[in-house]
Structure 1
Amino acid sequence: MPFARLATATTPTAHLGLGLAAVGRPGYITLDRAADLGEGHDRTVENLRTRTHELLDAAYAQGVRYIDAARSYGRSEEFLADWLKSRPDVTDVVVGSKWGYTYTAGWTTDAERHEVKDHSLAAYERQRAETDAILGDRLDLYQIHSVTPDSPALTDKDLHARLAEAAAQGVTVGFSTSGPRQADAVRAALAVTVDGEPLFRTVQSTYNILETSAGPALAEAHDAGLTVIVKEGMANGRLAAPHAPEPLRAVAEETGLGCDAVALAFVLRQSWTGVVLSGAATTVQLASNLHAAAVDLTDDQLARLTPLAETPEAYWQHRSALPWH
């Protein structure tokens, strides 16, 4: 498995990854996006390509070795592939992408629909071909994007067979989850087998100070041998300094680091965590996020942060109301 390379990494930030959702397309649901990216011409394809490359350079220089893209993240795969081609000496990064959503916003921020979900075998075949055309043999991990308990991807035997073929050819097969029933989706995916062998080797789920409901299921996945990747550790900006709840602000002040570093350190503290993604849109944000590796939260500090968790229903209702901007 490609993530075995991270197990022996010596850099403190090896278990922090960079997700490209916020910079691969002009619109996203992260708070304060206008301050991060500017408006209008600041979000051209070439400007976001340049920004992505700057982030990748900074991440790599600071020890980050996992990069996460998706077919629905605009041109994220293209930007990443361009960067890899321009850095032939970079051979030790783990590259992950996802299929199952199609980007439909047409490089705008006000589209009626920004992405369309389709977990069918036909969608996999189409998007796998698209990813292969861009990333080629640099693709290490291919994940089903945002599996929910009712996803046909959990029951489609023909799809499972094709995914098993990809695994036999050297691509690690994983899945991501979203929604208030993440734990159910994780457990259902753990039960998927092909010829008696578990199909999935990684799981990527939302977990943060405000949304901890998937924790027990992710621990089960870890115990079953899956690498656990955590996304949205900053709750789409809700845990950043301008919006962070007071207990998080207080703990951050005690550590002398930012609310973002503390929020990501909270996730790193979980025994089952393999990789925690930074969704930074600027190199300053990235540097601050990576300080999470230096935060050593005390039991008292963890106890003060734990009560901030919301019900999954409340959390995901709030998230679904965030505007694309």
Structure 2
Amino acid sequence: MPFARLATATTPTCHIGLGLAAVGRPGYINLGRDADLGDNRSVDRLRTRTHELLDAAYAQGVRYFDAARSYGRSEEFLADWLNARPDVDDIVVGSKWGYTYTAAWSTDAEQHEVKDHTLATYERQRAESDAILGDRLDLYQIHSVTPDSPALTDKELHARLAEAAAQGLTVGFSTSGPAQADAIRAALAVTVDGEPLFRTVQSTYNALETSAAPALAEAHAAGLTVIVKEAMANGRLAAPHAPDALKAVAEETSLGCDAVALALVLRQPWAGVVLSGAATANQLASNLHAAVVDLDDDQLGRLAALVEGPQAYWEKRGQLPWH
């Protein structure tokens, strides 16, 4: 693991990170946002909510926090929290570049973000992230790499990323879409001067979408830290939307569907950090119970039956509305 602050942490919840996609902007595709956020989604209200979540997560042992340029003001909210707590020096901060937020703080914008993996976008967004997070930025990831992404073949971009790595910034990538495994393997082959470029990979993996697992195991074996996103399938695995099999297992454990869904990911031997995308303090507290969930073979077998094909899963995800 490239982050000693995570590798040496001892609390079980250090393997659960907090992602800020759901609270850094007023609109997102997670189910249940009306109940989670209500009508007041002003900048100040979401800033306060984010700080409350960061306080709660840190107090309970969470040490990885994940933002992105396209998550509205997530970097700004995180930086404000860090600046108010100069004694907090044992966390890892990750962000991403490659998508530009375009919704102008609206939940019904025609377009919420624009993808561009060119060198020009990297340079612009790296300067923006640096201006906000400064030397607190530990990990910078290419956002949602797919097999056809120019970020996989742009040698000039690779050289610039290698320069950043030489200066102490960890360089990684995230993936999305039904061909995540292909994107991961293509990224593992990217080298600069004979050395692998990427140190981390962040991919979608959950009870419904498991297709990236073999490639993530390969990435782990190659020395990359694996960060898992969307372990709750954008709310599809949370009550009341969870499948009946998951609800039954959750009842047997006396914990929430969310804790069971996250625990299923945490038990993967290649999973270094699993992200909670909680939007409320109660959700976060329930998510963190995943660290103590113990699933038996029968329960694992029933949960394994929930898996969807990657094409079907990503088609359903693409139909989730921004709200």
TM-score normalised by structure 1 residue count: 0.99
8 Å Cα contact 2:65-2:93 kept in structure 1: yes
CA distance in 2, matches of 1:2, 1:115: 30
Q: Which runs of 5+ in 1 are unaligned?
A: none
Mapped to 2, the partners of 1:148 and 1:234 lie a distance apart of: 21
Q: SS in structure 1 opposite 2:320?
A: coil
Q: Which residue, 58, 61, 79 being the options, matches 2:59?
A: 61
The superposition leaves residues 55-105 of structure 1 with CA deviations (integer Å, 9 ceiling, x where unpaired) of 000000000000000000000000000000001111001000000000000
Partner of residue 145, structure 2? 147
Conservation of the 8 A alpha-carbon contact between 2:147 and 2:179: yes
What letter is aligned with 1:3? F
8 Å CA contact 2:2–2:225 kept in 1: the answer is: no
Given the alignment of the two structures, is residue 130 of structure 1 paired with residue 128 of structure 2, yes or no?
Answer: yes
Q: Displacement of 1:289 after TM fit?
A: 0.3
1:215 maps to which residue? 213
Equivalent residue letter for 1:85: N
Secondary structure of the structure 1 residue equivalent to 2:95: strand
1:300 deviates by 1.6
2:24 maps to: 24
Q: After TM superposition, give the deviation of residue 2 of structure 1 in Å.
A: 4.6
Of 271, 286, 289 in structure 2, the residue corresponding to residue 288 of structure 1 is: 286
- TM-score normalised over the length of structure 2: 0.99
Q: CA deviation at 1:5?
A: 2.1
CA shift at 1:241, angstroms?
A: 1.1
- Runs (4+) of structure 1 moved beyond 4 Å? none
- Could you say which residue in structure 1 is the equivalent of 2:110? 112
SS at 1:174 equivalent: strand
- 8 Å Cα contact 1:2/1:94 also seen in 2: no
Q: Structure 2 unaligned runs (5+)?
A: none
How many Å separate the matches in 2 of 1:5 and 1:53? 21
Q: Which residue of 2 aligns with 1:202?
A: 200
User: Residues of 2 paired with 1:299 and 1:272: CA distance?
Assistant: 19
Separation in structure 2 between the aligned mates of residue 7 and residue 103 of structure 1, nearest angstrom = 32
Counterpart secondary structure, 1:13: helix
Looking at structure 1, the residues matched to 82 and 44 of structure 2 have their Cα atoms a distance apart, in angstroms, of: 16
The aligned residue for residue 255 of structure 1 is 253
Question: Which one-letter code corresponds to 2:114 in the other structure?
Answer: V
Structure 2 residue 181 is matched with structure 1 residue 160? no
Give the 3-state SS of the residue equivalent to 1:204 in structure 2.
Answer: strand
CA distance in structure 1 between the aligned counterparts of 2:81 and 2:265, rounded to whole angstroms = 29
Q: Distance in 2 between matches of 1:151 and 1:4?
A: 31
Structure 2 residue 2 is the aligned partner of structure 1 residue 7: no
The number of aligned residues is 323
Partner of 1:38: 38
Check the 8 A contact 1:2/1:140 in 2, yes or no: no
| Matched position secondary structure for 2:62 | coil
Secondary structure of the 1:280 match is coil
1:100 aligns with 2:98: yes
Task: Tell me if structure 1 keeps the 8 A contact 2:227–2:272.
Answer: yes
- Please report how far the alpha carbon of residue 4 of structure 1 lies from its aligned counterpart in structure 2 after TM superposition: 2.9
Q: Distance in 2 between matches of 1:307 and 1:157?
A: 42
